[in-house]
Amino acid sequence: MDILFTIFYFSVFMLILFLVIEVRKGINRSNLGRYLEEKHGIKEEEESFLNRDLDDEERK
């Protein structure tokens, strides 16, 4: 029975994480997001270690 609760909580956590990421992307693509980017110069183009692919040889 404990494994069912673990799977359930993990699924709920992943759903919440997905919703947060998609809402953030939606705000950045909206008119308000574009306005704030133009006014304050906030850029989304910063590369993080999560964007790198292990098989990508060009970045080495």
Tens digits of residue pLDDT in 1-57: 899 999 999 999 999 999 999 998 888 788 888 887 888 876 656 566 666 666 555
Helix (H, G, I), strand (E, B) or coil at 43: coil
> How far does Cα 16 stand from its chain's mean position?
12
Question: Given this model, what pLDDT does residue 6 score?
Answer: 96
Could you tell me the residue range of the domain that residue 21 belongs to?
Answer: 7-38
Structure tokens at 32: 């308000």
Quote the number of domains for the chain: 1
Residue 31 lies in a domain: yes
Is 33 a member of any domain?
yes
56 in a structural domain = no
Residue 11 belongs to a domain: yes
Q: How far apart are the first and last CA of the chain?
A: 47
Residue 22 lies in a domain: yes
Q: Looking at the domain assignment, is residue 52 inside a domain?
A: no
For residue 26, give both structure tokens: 């939606």
Residue 60 has pLDDT above 60, yes or no: no
**CA–CA separation, 12 and 42 (whole Å):** 31
Does any domain span residue 15?
Answer: yes
Residue 55 structure tokens? 């098989």
